[in-house]
Structure 1
């Protein structure tokens, strides 16, 4: 059983689920918590996946505790009904924690996709770092994207034979989507055909809210100084994020605020952008696969291999630092080429196949062991 419920999980798990569903010797059940409703539905439609169980738990302004408690109860009911051999979760969301913990309570093995991401600060990012560490303690099969992730798990005394370095399935999804012919609709069509260099921007981290003034002030300065630059900014639905934008970001004809976008549209925006400025986690892995430099509006990252490879650069939220790093990439071709040409350390598009192969091998081994004991 694959359990996920947010848009990022859907993007990264869709290729894995489709690969498992294509195997004749496994039945793959998909449970959707609908922690994100509309945004995840768009992803499922794009990848042509339908849930076997839809908990429809998204409600306006519910607290994380309310959401998690509902998930635990409802996921447990489905597990009691279906009794899967393995529960597969992804990443670090409330759905991830609830799915893994519900499976643990029924002594069902857990497979954790994108295991081993660590900042070592349980409050950054919050609550994702705590979720991923907690899930790591009750996971049986750890599907790590990189050697760095594997080493983090080994430091936590995870058995090496239970860790598999497979790359990140988000690259599978990204390459599948961006390989297709695509045309933007208005207003993005006119925006992307303007001839201006596009900074694709996202900010939504809860822990960054109080510091966004510095980020937006730096953007204001860049737009004043560079008339050939425009911002495309899909704005998170969180009212607190929108309040900060309204207070601190100067709007003009080159500041394009748009509603959250379908994954297909966003993927092609990444492909066409000049550079990307974000505090998102997944984008740090995706954009380098398309040869795009990424400036990260955070002081630390659970993806240090991207920094080491040169595809990412941490710039925090201080106005002077953000301005300096943006200015460097806009005015220094050598610096831009160095980042855009760096090798992406997060995978080659075959992660889903590797995960499915490992799962099938483990299930066959466990079945054989049970039959041996019985005989």
Structure 2
């Protein structure tokens, strides 16, 4: 594919936003919307690595995001090393052609670290959305914890969701002038979805059939949980559902074969457990909003749960979002199925936790992160232009 260099207006700044997975586009959509509202002074260039394909495309359509370039790096059974190499190689000529004034990445994916590294090599400033998350264990989550630490070293501008994230960045030596407290744009996206979308007919029918039940919504897909750990968690959930007729469980099953194999072994033929294909984001948020309890190893759901006022059992032994524990919404399960079963039983017996969750103020912001990030980008680019004069 030939990439043609695009002449730039001298008074227009180009912002290149890179993403490749579902969590990235969910959190970058409000930022892209905010950037595109400033088309008089900014040129927005969106690039998908297609690290994920089937999971990513519905969200792009749902959010009305136009992809200017698709790197097409997805291959079956790909490793993080392979993705990293392909993204760096594919984006290099694109950076030369588009000549962005800023490259924007989000989170801790292989796409994000690859984009930040390629931009650094090209001496283009990097801005990092959702900066400053840490578990303190560089192998948990793997490889995300190390990815985000390395992106911090490459980034020029750091958008932190919480005061705690700001403190972590300062402790690691990031200059205060390079950090902006913005909240997390996932809150923006969630509010947008609830205000502007309706639930699909198939999911509505399923939920209507369960209207008088206590509904558990389950997601699990993290690499460190593959195998025996995931089996133990699913087995505990199966036993809990089988013991309590008032409980129903909906599991939106990740397409990874390592997840599907465990699901087939533990959940096949079990009553009151509904395994469904991954949902479009609007449906998924509406599903979470109907939950009695959420059980998940997802990082994003740790932000969505307090936004929805839903209690969350976290299928991990560490979290880079301690705010969800401190505000009372989340509880760490660890890798033990027995501990999960204990916490499930306690949740059924004692409603005190649910009362606490209903009264929580969202620690991840008010839903204006996209605009805050756009304002910070504007200040950064203006200051950089003045410094170059």
TM-score bin, normalised by smaller chain = over 0.9
Match of 1:133 in 2: 149
RMSD: 1.3
Q: Counterparts of 1:53 and 1:329 in 2: how far apart (Å)?
A: 47
Q: Counterparts of 2:238 and 2:199 in 1: how far apart (Å)?
A: 29
Match of 2:13 in 1: none
Match of 1:93 in 2: 109
Q: 2:174 matched to 1:165?
A: no
Match of 2:248 in 1: 230
- Give ranges in structure 1 of 5+ residues lacking alignment: none
Q: Counterparts of 1:270 and 1:239 in 2: how far apart (Å)?
A: 24
Q: How far did 1:246 drift?
A: 2.0
Picking from 55, 75, 79, the partner of 2:95 is 79
Q: Counterparts of 1:326 and 1:188 in 2: how far apart (Å)?
A: 26
Deviation per residue, 1:144-192 (Å, 9 max, x gap): 0011111111121111111111100000001100123513322552344
8 A Cα contact 1:168 1:347, kept in partner: yes
Match of 1:272 in 2: 290
Picking from 65, 85, 108, the partner of 1:49 is 65
Q: Secondary structure of 2:23's match? A: helix
Q: How far did 1:339 drift?
A: 2.5
8 A Cα contact 2:100 2:124, kept in partner: yes
8 A Cα contact 1:330 1:336, kept in partner: no
Question: What TM-score, normalized by structure 2, do the two folds share?
Answer: 0.92
Match of 1:342 in 2: 360
Picking from 205, 215, 221, the partner of 1:204 is 221
Between the two proteins, the alignment pairs up a number of residues equal to 371
Q: How far did 1:328 drift?
A: 1.9
8 A Cα contact 2:210 2:248, kept in partner: no
Q: Secondary structure of 1:153's match? A: helix
Q: Secondary structure of 1:87's match? A: strand
Q: 2:145 matched to 1:122?
A: no
Match of 2:386 in 1: 368
Q: Counterparts of 2:388 and 2:173 in 1: how far apart (Å)?
A: 27
Q: How far did 1:66 drift?
A: 1.4
Q: Counterparts of 1:77 and 1:155 in 2: how far apart (Å)?
A: 36
Q: 2:302 matched to 1:287?
A: no
Picking from 46, 54, 69, the partner of 1:30 is 46
Q: Counterparts of 2:64 and 2:24 in 1: how far apart (Å)?
A: 15
Q: Deviating runs (4+, > 4 A) in structure 1?
A: none
- Give ranges in structure 2 of 5+ residues lacking alignment: 1-15
Q: Which moved more, 1:67-76 or 1:337-346?
A: 337-346
Picking from 6, 19, 25, the partner of 1:4 is 19
Match of 2:264 in 1: 246
Match of 2:3 in 1: none
Q: How far did 1:102 drift?
A: 0.1
Deviation per residue, 1:91-127 (Å, 9 max, x gap): 0001000000000001111000000000121110011
8 A Cα contact 2:253 2:276, kept in partner: yes
Match of 1:320 in 2: 338
Q: How far did 1:369 drift?
A: 2.7
Q: Counterparts of 2:34 and 2:198 in 1: how far apart (Å)?
A: 24
Question: What TM-score, normalized by structure 1, do the two folds share?
Answer: 0.96
8 A Cα contact 1:119 1:302, kept in partner: yes
Q: Counterparts of 1:207 and 1:162 in 2: how far apart (Å)?
A: 33
Report the CA distance shift for 1:143/1:65 in structure 2 as closer, same or farther (over 3 A): same
Q: Counterparts of 2:348 and 2:103 in 1: how far apart (Å)?
A: 46
Picking from 207, 214, 222, the partner of 2:232 is 214
Report the CA distance shift for 1:349/1:310 in structure 2 as closer, same or farther (over 3 A): same
Match of 1:185 in 2: 201
8 A Cα contact 1:287 1:294, kept in partner: yes
Q: Counterparts of 1:77 and 1:266 in 2: how far apart (Å)?
A: 37
8 A Cα contact 1:4 1:90, kept in partner: yes
